[in-house]
Amino acid sequence: MKVSRFPEQRARAEESAKAAGAAEYVRANATLNLKEHGLVPEPVRALVRDLVELGLKVNQINGAISAVAQATGTAVAGSLSARSIGRFVREGGVAAAMQIVDEIRTAQSLTISGDGTTNKHVNYDSRHLYVHENGSHLRRFLGINSAPNHTSETQLNGWEEMMDDFHQIYNDSPRGLATPADARLFPTKVTGILTDHAEDQKKLVRLFAARKKICDRILRGERVLKGTPEEHFHYLISEETHAALERLGGPDAWAELLPEQLDVETTRIREAVVMRLGEDDYAQLSEEERELVDLFVHAGCCMHKELNSVKGGNARMVAFWAAAGHEGPVLLMNKDNEAAAAAGASAAKTRAVETSRGGGVKLAELAGALLRHKDDKKGQQDSYRFFFEQRLGRRMTFPDTSNTRYQSYCEAAGELVLHLELYRQFLEHLRDKKDSGRFNHLEQNIYKGLRDDGTITELCVLALYGQVISHPYTRQIRGPEVDSTNHLDLGPLHQRLKNHIARLIADPDLILGPDASHDTAVLDAQPWNNPDIVSAIRMVAPTLPHLRGALVAFLEGALETWERFTVDFAPDGVFAKLSPALRERAWMPSTNDANEGALGGLRVNFRSTPNISIHQYNSRLMYKLNDTSTYIATVLNTPEGEEFMRRKAREIDASGRERKRRRDVAEADQRAAKRRKEDREERREKANQRLQTLAQLTPILDLAELTWEKTTVRLLESQLDWHRTFVDTGPKDDKKIPMKKDLHIKLLKLGALVDAVTRYNEAPPALTPANLVAKILAASVGEDVEGSGDDSDLEMEQE
């Protein structure tokens, strides 16, 4: 048997030897040519993009290629310049723009999300797109762009300009030349938008909905127009022309129009005809079809809901102390306020006390500034970590309250309560190792707060809320199924959450009782996120007599906030009224983490590569996050597609986009500065005129003249203005005359004026109106006025 198999084994051995020899020959003679005939081949360009996607810097690309080649026994011929590498990345950005347009065209529906921030006083907006088709929901990063401001109108313009840019790139390509794409199709397919809950975002939603409607009617009208009989078209043109003539004032006015004005009016007439045809076509749709066309909902980030619930709960807890007649947490004043408060009884002391804060949130904020400052050159981060590692056997990282991370205040409160005595010892350690043996002001405030029962009470409340509500809620909305969770389907979760908070308010012993268990205390009945924190709170609770009251107050404020921020999830709310099919069509994620993460990444990237252009940054990130490499390999893998990417990238490179962006930001800043300066000057001029007018007014100081019959509303208002300006000039909280909004009828105005005249007659001011006007006017232009009288006791409210 063995002999019979020998020829076969010998043949296989010879083949193996030949293969091994060939492989060795290839290894010995193989060369990776980075350029062929002066052109970098597409596989090398793709390799460069993939290396950049993995995080390599431009100056590391050549070294990485050489290192891998050397490990495989391959020689490398040639090198790549930094400019070439940047251009290859831009080619990926060109492909990413085309990919977005291709996916918009084929999508059944789209939803969008956005968020904004400022970095070094420049506004930046991040945007994402969600493509829905056959039950799948693809997330696509659309890039980050700077903006002159953060108004709703500017944000809408940013969406339109971005889509126009993407469609222009696409339509310049061979694919676009064959089948052009219309940017107006984009808003018509958008069925929802995810943002935070700010008023500017609510306005953006209204603006986008209006834009969606206009684009839908225009596209419908243009489709109908293609099949409209010529006679009917002329009839519509005639009607709209007649309407335009009436609007302008007749044929004579039309005849006086300049050529460019005539072009504008002609365009308006045609647009009006198209809109009419579009509206008529829309009106002929069935109710179900119109519901599909009109579908557009607004969703607010769930993490912002949780954040606001903590703010609402804390506000109610802060008010609890005075309302219940208890002494509240110690004030943790800044240096200036503490100095003013120590100066004795005065208006400055009163203001210092009123503007200072204390309590759990304030202490967590101060602790974050000391133990995890957002500027890593400040704070005691390393000393803190080393100290706690020595005492606990592990290195600690304090919650990031310095950057106001989600849940960071509840986390910080729990951390401070859990290791309360250890934090006191750490501060004493900081004090004792100084030559002076004294705390600085920040350390003194933290130490003071850590020894104050009221502050510790609030820390316990914050920590408990984090354990029973914040953490389990976050597990629900950021859980393993987050990629498939539809924001619009979270109504039952929010109803369950509000019901749970109501139960805790009715029975705080579910949290504070000796038999309290996570089964009944925690929202999802899962184990405590950190049982040690709960145990620490139970240990200290007997020394905190107002813990129960503060906890109930916090929960009441949180519940009220949840009610306000979950209106859309109500049984009769917007989301509940949608059918399951429509909710699926308007699928959105539960949070806006994608945009917030992108903006945070931009800030971090600017630290390591401060000179990177926004377009280069977007090209890198879109290529990475949108799986653009697959799109290139499957769609643009033709000579024409590859040539277009190269050509378009060169055009973008030569267009000076980044320089134009910086110029636009600078020009917008200049326009804003000019506008605000003009506004200030206008307000100052009006104020000066008002002062001059009031200075010439003769005040009525005889109470006998202040009767119902002898006065009018206008007279009463002018007299009250005189007293407000020249007599009632104390601090805002010491004003004697009520605000105008509180004097809405004549009877109230008359009563206020009688009181003002009475006070004036009892104690006339030392400074005359004429001298006061002169001094105010001089101060407004930076001049000194002599002979203004003694104004050492004059206090004026600073607006």
Tens of pLDDT, residues 725-762: 888 887 777 788 999 889 989 999 999 999 999 998 88
549 within 8 A of 317, measured Cβ to Cβ: no
Secondary element (H or E) of residue 123: strand 122-133
Q: In this structure, what are the phi and psi dihedrals at residue 145, rounded to the nearest 5 degrees?
A: -135, 150
Q: Which of 115-129, 291-305, 716-730 has the lowest mean pLDDT?
A: 716-730
State residue 7's pLDDT score.
53
pLDDT in tens, 196-206: 999 999 999 99
Exposed (0-12), middle (13-18) or buried (19+): which is 202, by Cβ within 10 Å? middle
pLDDT over threshold 50, residue 3 = no
For 540, residues 6+ apart whose C-beta sits below 8 A from its C-beta are 417, 420, 456, 460
Pairing of strands 75-77, 109-119: unpaired
Q: What is the mean pLDDT of residues 490-514?
A: 96
For the chain, percent of residues with pLDDT exceeding 90: 64
Q: What is the mean pLDDT of residues 156-164?
A: 96
Q: State the Cα torsion 271-276-282-283 to the nearest 10°.
A: 170
β-strand partners of 113: 128, 194
pLDDT over threshold 50, residue 724 = yes
Q: What is the DSSP letter of 74?
A: -
Rounded CA gap, 694 and 376, in Å? 55
505 within 8 A of 548, measured Cβ to Cβ: no
**At 794, is the pLDDT very low, low, confident or very high (cuts 50, 70, 90)?**
very low
Rounded CA gap, 460 and 472, in Å? 18
Q: What is the mean pLDDT of residues 580-592?
A: 95
Tokens of 120: 């070094």
pLDDT over threshold 60, residue 783 = no
Higher pLDDT, residue 797 or 688: 688
Residues in the chain: 799
**At 23, is the pLDDT very low, low, confident or very high (cuts 50, 70, 90)?**
very low
State residue 530's pLDDT score.
94
Higher pLDDT, residue 375 or 550: 550
**At 14, is the pLDDT very low, low, confident or very high (cuts 50, 70, 90)?**
low
pLDDT in tens, 308-358: 999 999 999 999 999 999 999 999 988 877 777 777 666 666 776 767 789
For the chain, percent of residues with pLDDT exceeding 70: 90
pLDDT over threshold 70, residue 168 = yes
State residue 797's pLDDT score.
33
Q: Where are the beta strands (DSSP E) in 475-614?
A: none
Rounded CA gap, 613 and 602, in Å? 11
pLDDT over threshold 90, residue 648 = yes
Exposed (0-12), middle (13-18) or buried (19+): which is 251, by Cβ within 10 Å? exposed
State residue 770's pLDDT score.
60
The winner for highest mean pLDDT among 201-215, 392-406, 763-777 is 201-215
Long-range contacts of 69-72 (CB under 8 A, 24+ apart): 69/32, 72/27
Average pLDDT, the chain: 88
Pairing of strands 109-119, 122-133: antiparallel
Q: Which of 2-16, 388-402, 484-498, 534-548 has the lowest mean pLDDT?
A: 2-16
Higher pLDDT, residue 6 or 670: 670
Q: In this structure, what are the phi and psi dihedrals at residue 10, rounded to the nearest 5 degrees?
A: -65, -40
pLDDT in tens, 81-126: 999 999 999 999 999 999 999 999 999 999 999 999 999 889 999 9
Q: What is the DSSP letter of 345?
A: S
State residue 10's pLDDT score.
54
The winner for highest mean pLDDT among 1-5, 325-329, 568-572 is 325-329
Place of tokens 């208006």: 347
Q: What is the mean pLDDT of residues 776-793?
A: 44
pLDDT over threshold 80, residue 403 = no
Higher pLDDT, residue 283 or 337: 283
Q: What is the mean pLDDT of residues 165-182?
A: 96
pLDDT in tens, 54-65: 999 999 999 999
**At 25, is the pLDDT very low, low, confident or very high (cuts 50, 70, 90)?**
very low
293 within 8 A of 216, measured Cβ to Cβ: yes
